[in-house]
Structure 1
Amino acid sequence: MIRKSHLALAIGLTLAGNTSYAETTLNSLEARLAAMEKRLQMAEKRTAAAEQRASDAEQNVAKLRQQAQQNQQATQQVTERTAAIENKTRAADGFEFHGYARSGLIMNDAASATKSGPYLTPAGETGGAVGRLGNENNTYVELNLEHKQRLENGATTRFKVMLADGQESYNDWTGDTSDLNIRQAFVELGSLPTFNGVFKNSTLWAGKRFDRDNFDIHWLDSDVLFLAGTGGGIYDVQWNETLKSNFSIYGRNFGDIEAIDNTIQNYIVTANNFAGPWQFMLSGLRAKDNDRRISPAQRNEHAGDSGIHGMLALHNDSFYGLRDGQAQTALLYGHGLGAEVKGLGSDGNLTQDANTWRLATYGVTPLNSRWSFAPALLAQQSKDRYINGDEYRWVTLNARLIQEITQNFALAYEGSYQYMDLSPLGYKNRQAVNGSYYKLTFAPTFKVADIGDFFTRPEIRFFASWMDWDKSLDNYASDDAFGSSGFTAGGEWNFGVQMETWF
C-alpha cells in the first residue's frame, strides 16, 4: 500500500522534472477558465434578457388588467345608461289601449220590439235627455290606440286614434248597416324645451279630436258641452299659479255628421279659461254663405252665418259644499250659430237671431256605507231657433240611488221627469205640444269592485223600466217615437239586460 506522502512526492518530482508538460496543463486550465467565464457572461446576458422579457410581460399584464378594468367600467356605465333609458321608456313611452262599449237587449212586456233611447221624447231633438238606465237598445264601441314618447331633451309626443261604431241590429254580423268611423286622429307635442314663461308647460295639438276638457252627465248620456271637429290649438297656457287658458280653432261641415260633400264650413275659435274650480269659455263661430241655407218650414227662414257661445262652470270636489262627493254646474248661452249650446258648432239650421240658455248640474255623494245618491238637472230655453218666433222649453229632473247588497251586487233605482213646452211653428212639420214624461227603472247590477262608485266599470245590469207621458205629446211629429204604432201614451214596460265598460 502506497502512502499519500510518497504519492505526493512522486507527483511533485514528476512535475518538476517535466516543465513543458506543466506549462501545457496550465494553459489548458486557463483556456478552460476563459471558456467558462465566457459561458458565464453569455448566461448572464441570457438571464438579463429573460429578466427584461419577464419585466415586459409584467408590464403588459398590468396594461391588460388596467384595460380590462376600464372596459368593465365602460360596460357598467353603458348598462346603467341603458337601464335608465329603459326605465324612462317604461314610464313615459310605448303604446296604450283604451276603450268604451255598451251593448244590450231590450223588449216590451209583450216580448216584442220597443222604442228607447235617452232622447226619445219630443224635447230630445233639442237636447232634452231623460236618462239612459233601462232605456238603451244599441251597441256602441270606441277603441282608442295611443302612442306616447319622451325624448332625451324632455319633450313629449302623443298620437291618438279612435275607431267607433254604433249599431242597433241584434245580429252578430252587421257590416251592411255599420257606422264604423275614425272619430279622432291627432298629435300632441308637450314639454318643448324652447317653450318658456307662460308656455313652459303647454301642449300643442293638431288633427281631428274631441276637446280635452269636454264634460257630461254620464247617466243621462248628455254632454254639458261637447266641442269636436278638425283643427289645432294649445293647452295649459299658465298665466299664474291659479289661472290657465286653452286656445283652439275647430272646423266642421254643416249638415249631418256623415255628410262629407257639404261645402259650408263652420269655424269655431275658442278661449277656455280655468281659475281654481271655475271655468269660463268663450267662442266665436263663422260660416260664410251659410245664410243661403233655407229652413224647411211653413215660413222659410235663412240660417245664420255667425254666432257666439259662452259657458260659466263650477267644478266642486264636494257635493255642492254640503258633504263628501263631487258636483258640477254650468250655465251656457249661445246666439246665432252658437245657439246649439251643447254640441257647439254642430247645427247649421240655426237662425242669425237664435238665442239659447241652458243650465246643467249634477252631483254624486255616498249617503252611508250602503247607499249612494246622484241627482241631475237639465233645463233649456231656445227662441227664434229655426223660425223667428219659435220657442223650445224643457226641463229634466233625474235621480239615481244605488243600494249595495254585497261587494259584487247592487240594486239601482232611477227616476226621471221631463216637462216640455214646444212651439216649432211648422219647422219640419212639427206641431206645438206641451206635457210631461215620466220614467222609473229598477236595475239589479253586478260589478267586480267598488260597487257603490258611479264611475267604475264594467257593469252588467238587468232592468225593468216603466214610462208614460201625456197624450198630447203623441201629436208632435209623424216620424218620432211618440205616437208611432204600438208606442202611445198610457204606459209602457221595457225589460232587458245591458253591459257597459270603459278602461
Structure 2
Amino acid sequence: MQKAPGWLLAGVLGTSAATSQAATLEERMAAFEARTSAAERRAAAAEQQTQALARELQQIKLATAPLQPAASTAAVISAPALDTRLAKLEARQQSLEKEASTGHLTDGFSFNGYARSGLLINDRLGGGRGGPYETPAGSVGGAVGRLGNEDDTYMRIDLSKEIYAQNGTRSKFTVSIADGVESSNDWTADESKLNVRQVFTALDHVAAFKGNSVFENATLWAGKRFDRDNFDIHWLDSDVVYLAGTGGGIYDMQMNKNWRSNYSLIGRNYGDFSQGDLSADVESYILTSNQFFEDGQWQWMFNAIGAKKNDFATRTNAAGLTPADSGLHSMLANHQKNFFGREGFFKTALLYGQGLGAEVKNIGSDGELIDDARALRLALYGETPLASDWRIGPSLLAEQSKDRYVKGDDYRWLTLNVRLANKINSNFEMAYEISWQTMNLDPKDYLQRNAVDGNFWKFTVAPTFKPEVGDLLTRPELRVFASFMNWSSDLDRFSTTDSFGMTDFKAGGVWQYGIQMETWF
C-alpha cells in the first residue's frame, strides 16, 4: 500500500488538529457566552451596580465577536491569540460574576438623617425655656410654633442597605438611631437618651408577585419601625398622625387604577405593672388599614386597637380608674399637590378616636385613657409663594377631647401658626413666625392639674443662612433668632411641674434669644 506523501499527511493532521482546536474554542466560547448571559440576568436586577456591569459585559461581547473561527485555517492561525485573549476575558468574567453576586459594602447603601442643635438664652442671660409643647395644652398634644423655641440637641440617622436577589427581588434593611439632650455640654453620655427607633427589613419587586396586578408593586416588611406614610406639620414639630411599633405589614396593594391599600399589625407596650403576685406585661396591638385614592390625593386610615391586659383587675390609671382595653381610630386626609391652584402644597386631615384611640396623633401610645374617652382633631397646613421673594406656610391644629382620664374632663385648644420667609439673596433670608394658641382645659384634678382658660402667643425673627433660598423646607439652615412670648396669667396655675408659673417664667412677657442649626437629607 502506497504511503501518502509526508506533506499531505501533515496537511491532513494539521487540518484535523485545527478543526479539533476550533471545536474546543467554540465550546469554550459557548460556555463563556452562557456565563455572560447569566451574569447579565443577575445584573439586570440591580440598579447602579448593574448598569456599570452591563456596560462592561457589552464591551466583552463586542471584543470577542470578531474572534469566532470562520474556517479551520483561520483557527490554526489565530489559536494562540484566541487562547490568550479568551483567558483574559474569562478571568475578567469570573471577577464580574463574583462582583455581581457579592457586591461591595457601599453598593445599595444609603445614609439619611435629621438633626437640630442650638442655644436658647433668656433675657436675664440664663438658660431659656422652650419646646413646641411648653404650654398647658401641650400636655394633650397642643403644639405651638417651633422657630426660636427649641433648646435641645436632637439627631436621627437612618442607615439602609439594599440587596438584589438573582430573581430580581430587592431586600432593604434599615436601622435608625436617635438621641436627644438638653445639655449644652460636648460630653452628655450621662444624659443621653440614645435609642434605636427602627430596625426592619422590607421586600419589594418580589419575583413571585410578577404578573399579579394586585401584588406586583407591593412591599412586604417586618420589624420595628414608624409607618412610611406618617406626615407632620413641620412648623409645629407635630405629627398629624404617627403610627409606630413592632410588627409587620404590606404596602401598595393596587386594588385598581385609582386605589391602593396598606395593611399592618403593630404591637406596643404600656409598661410592666406588678400588683402583689400578679405581673401584667401590658401589650397593645394595632390593626391598621390605610387606603389611598386618586393617586394618593385622598387617604382613609382606620385603626382597631386592643390591649386586653390593660384593664387587669388591679390595674388603674393615675386617676384611680380602670383604663380602656380597646379603641378605634380613623383619619380622613386630603393631600393637595398645589396650594389651591397655586405653586406649593396643602394638606387637610380630620381625625377621630375613642377609647385607646382617643390619642389621635400617636396611635395606641396612651394606656391611661378610659373607655369613655373621645377626641376629634383638625389639621390644616401648606406652603406657597406669597409675593416676589416671599413665601408663607400657614397651619391650624385644633382638638376637643372629653372623658380622657377622668369622667367629665374636657380639653379644648386651637393653634394658629404662620411661618414667613423673605429672600434677601441666594443664601440669606429673613424668617418670621407668629403663633397664637387658645385653650380651655378642665382636667378634673388629673395629676393635680387645675382648670385654666387663656391664650398664648409668640413672635420670632430669625436671620437665616442656607445653601439655596426659595423654599421653606430647604435645609440645612443656620439661624440666629429673637423670640418674644406672652400668655394669660391664668395659665400659670395649670400645674406646679410645668414651665409656666416658674419664678423666671411667668405671664407678662418673656424675651429669648439663640442660635440654631437644622438639617435633613
TM over 0.5: yes
Query: 2:163 maps to which residue?
Result: 149
- 1:371 alignment counterpart: 390
Take 1:243 and 1:499, find their aligned partners in 2: how far apart are those partners? 40
Q: Does structure 2 conserve the Cα–Cα contact (< 8 Å) formed by 1:128 and 1:394?
A: yes
Aligned-pair CA distance for 1:57: 1.7
Instruction: Determine if the alignment matches structure 1 residue 227 to structure 2 residue 249.
Output: no
Q: 1:404 to 1:83 in 2, by over 3 A?
A: farther
Residue number among 277, 286, 291 corresponding to 2:311 in the alignment: 291
SS at match of 1:488: coil
Q: Distance in 2 between matches of 1:104 and 1:214?
A: 26
Say if 2:146 and 2:237, in contact at 8 Å, map to a contact too.
yes
Q: 1:338-382 CA deviation, whole Å, 9 max, x = no partner?
A: 000000001011110000000001011012441111100000001
Asked whether 1:52 is paired with 2:68, we answer no
Alpha-carbon shift at residue 291 of structure 1 (Å): 2.2
> What is the CA distance between 1:246 and its match in structure 2?
0.8
Q: Could you say if the C-alpha distance between residues 395 and 84 of structure 1 is closer, same or farther in structure 2, counting changes exceeding 3 Å?
A: same
SS of 1:289's equivalent? helix
- Report the counterpart of residue 472 of structure 2 in structure 1: 454
Distance 2:39 2:479 in 1: 49
Write the distance in 2 (CA, Å) between the matches of 1:499 and 1:84. 47
Instruction: Answer yes or no: is 1:140 the counterpart of 2:140.
Output: no
Q: Is the 8 A contact 1:295 1:427 kept in 2?
A: no
Change (3 A) 1:446 1:105: same
- 1:294 is matched by which residue type in structure 2? T
- Cα pair distance change 1:226/1:262, threshold 3 Å: farther
Q: Extract structure 1 runs of 4+ deviating beyond 6 A.
A: none
| Deviates further, 361-370 or 78-87 | 78-87
Larger radius of gyration: 1
Residues 111 and 77 of structure 1: is their aligned pair in 2 closer, same or farther, counting only changes over 3 Å? farther
What residue ranges of structure 2 are gaps of 5+ in the alignment? 50-106, 273-278
- Tell me the distance in 2 between the aligned counterparts of 1:386 and 1:128: 17
Q: Which residue in the other structure is 1:478 paired with?
A: 496
State the number of aligned residues: 452
Q: Does 1:436 align with 2:441?
A: no
Pairing partner for 1:170 from 162, 174, 184: 184
Report the identity percentage.
51
Greater Cα offset, 428-437 or 364-373: 364-373
Taking the aligned partners of 2:443 and 2:361, their CA distance within structure 1 comes to 19
Q: 2:464 aligns with which of 445, 451, 454?
A: 445
Offset of 1:232 from its aligned partner? 1.0
User: What residue identity is the alignment partner of 2:207?
Assistant: P
For the residue of structure 2 that corresponds to 1:125, the secondary structure is helix
Amino acid at match of 1:104: G
Unmatched 5+ stretches in structure 1: 1-40
Contact 1:301/1:388 (CA < 8 Å) preserved in 2? no
Aligned to 1:207: 223
Residue 58 of structure 1 deviates from its aligned partner by 3.6
Change (3 A) 1:87 1:109: farther
Q: Does 1:400 align with 2:419?
A: yes
In the other structure, the counterpart of 1:489 is 507
SS in 1 for 2:207: coil
| Contact 2:352 2:375 (8 Å CA) reproduced | yes
| 1:188 match | 202
The residue aligned with 2:21 is 64
1:109 Cα deviation from its structure 2 partner: 1.9
The amino acid that maps onto 2:362 is G
Partner residue in 2 for 1:108: 122
- Counterpart of 2:426 in structure 1: which amino acid? Q
Superposed displacement of residue 83, structure 1 = 6.2
Verify the 8 A CA contact 1:370 1:404 in the aligned structure 2.
Answer: yes
Alpha-carbon shift at residue 77 of structure 1 (Å):
6.2
Q: Partners of 1:88 and 1:193 in 2: how far apart?
A: 11
- Give the Å deviation of 1:75: 4.3
Q: Which residue of 2 aligns with 1:281?
A: 301
Change in CA separation of 1:279 and 1:79 when aligned onto 2, cut-off 3 Å: same
Q: Post-superposition shift, 1:154? A: 2.4
Contact 1:285 1:308 in 2 (8 A): yes
Q: 1:470 to 1:262 in 2, by over 3 A?
A: farther
Could you tell me which amino acid in structure 1 is paired with residue 380 of structure 2? T
TM-score by length of 2: 0.83
- In the TM superposition, 1:1-400 aligns within 5 A as 48-65=5-22, 67-68=24-25, 71=28, 75=32, 78=35, 82=39, 85-86=42-43, 88-91=45-48, 94-195=108-209, 196-255=212-271, 263-276=281-294, 277-292=297-312, 293-297=315-319, 300-319=320-339, 321-400=340-419
CA distance in structure 2 between the partners assigned to 1:48 and 1:183 by the alignment: 87
How far apart, CA to CA, are the structure 2 residues paired with 1:91 and 1:217?
34
- Please state whether the residue corresponding to 2:146 is helix, strand or coil: coil
How far apart, CA to CA, are the structure 2 residues paired with 1:77 and 1:236?
A: 37
